[in-house]
Amino acid sequence: MTSRRNGIERNEFQGNFTVATRAELEAILVAHRERRLGKDRMRVFAAMLEKRALHVRSRVDMHRIVNAKRSTAKLLSRGRIERLEKELGDLLACAPRGGKKVAVSRRMARHIATGQAAPSEAIVLIYYCIRRLKQRQRRDLLLEGERYARFRYVDLAVLSGCGRSTLCRAVERLRRRGYLQALEVRQASENAYGCLFVDGSLVTLTSHAGRRWRSRRKATTPAPVSDNAPDAFSTTLENKDPKTGILNRRAFPFALVEMGGALVATAANPRPANPARADAVASPPVRSTCPDFLRIQERARQMRESWAEAVV
């Protein structure tokens, strides 16, 4: 029989969890949308959640929880923490009492409380805990006993007031730090794609080492065709027909010299004379003897003569 605490399984999160109500977490998201919740208040709220999970005889106070990582975030004084805690109490007093209980990972709560998470990252973690559920039936995409959550950026953007691009960057940072993992899933019934957000390696029950991609499309399945999606173009241009015989590859400076009544381009020697020697004389210019270059010069001379005859 599965052991439960406050109606939630004890093995919900690795590293234990703290309990909050769904109404409290949604009130925090709404307060962030209304610009009433800054980073300091978010840190104090996460510290309040962490304090709930402590033993009644624990001597760890709010000041110690918030300022645990002194090198990564600014310190908050005891007076400011008490004022913010009182303001949060007034804000959460409007939320309905009771309701569904939600498990929040203590590692996530400490990550937010110590100031290591940006407000947008804290919003994503809170909404993930609200939407998180366990597998009702075995999924090949997930590991056994693994929880998951599925939500759209537009829903979270409407609820929290954060932009879609901000939320995308927050999810990318959380994935890079190991708090979340996102797996692409294909919904065959709706012919659409989505993301399945899974616990990261820091908070999950099972290890993600050796995870194999199970939702890869079979080779016989044709690629989906979309009239709206643009083709994928490379950001850098490829030179598919490079020129190998390039004159002046060493970037010698050219000079125009009049020879036989016509201007001829010559490559001057880039090495100057040695100023330390009194009898130093600059090297004479080296004329180009490339047959292609001479042919181009002759063709240019013929074009100039034809233009002159046309004008006359």
122, 186: one domain: yes
Domain end residue (candidates: 199, 216, 236): 199
Distances (CA, A) of 100 to 23, 107, 130: 8, 21, 10
Q: Are residues 17 and 113 in the same domain?
A: yes
pLDDT in tens, 70-114: 766 788 999 999 999 999 999 998 888 778 889 999 999 999 999
How confident is the model at residue 312, as a pLDDT?
61
The reported pLDDT for the residue numbered 263 is: 62
pTM: 0.62
**246-286 pLDDT per residue, tens:** 455 555 555 666 766 666 666 555 455 555 555 555 555 44
* Same-domain status, 48 and 171: yes
- Residue 259 and residue 180 share a domain: no
**65-83: buried (b, 16+ CB within 10 Å) or exposed (e) per residue?**
bbbbeeeebeebeeeebee
Residues 41 and 155 in one domain: yes
Average pLDDT, the chain: 76
Q: Which residue has the higher pLDDT, 196 or 231?
A: 196
Tell whether 259 and 195 lie within a shared domain: no
**Is 47 contained in some domain?**
yes
Q: Which domain holds residue 102?
A: 4-199
CB neighbourhood size of 242 (10 A): 7
> Do 146 and 46 lie in a common domain?
yes
Residues 148 and 287 in one domain: no
For residues 304 and 184, state if they share a domain. no
Tokens representing residue 93 in the block: 């007093």
pLDDT in tens, 181-212: 877 666 555 444 566 777 777 777 665 545 55
Alpha carbons 224 and 54: distance in angstroms, whole number: 51
At which residue do the structure tokens 């125009």 appear? 256
The count of structural domains within the chain is 2
Kindly indicate the confidence band of residue 213, based on its pLDDT and cuts at 50, 70 and 90: very low
Report if residue 206 sits inside a domain: no
Same domain, residue pair 184 and 290? no
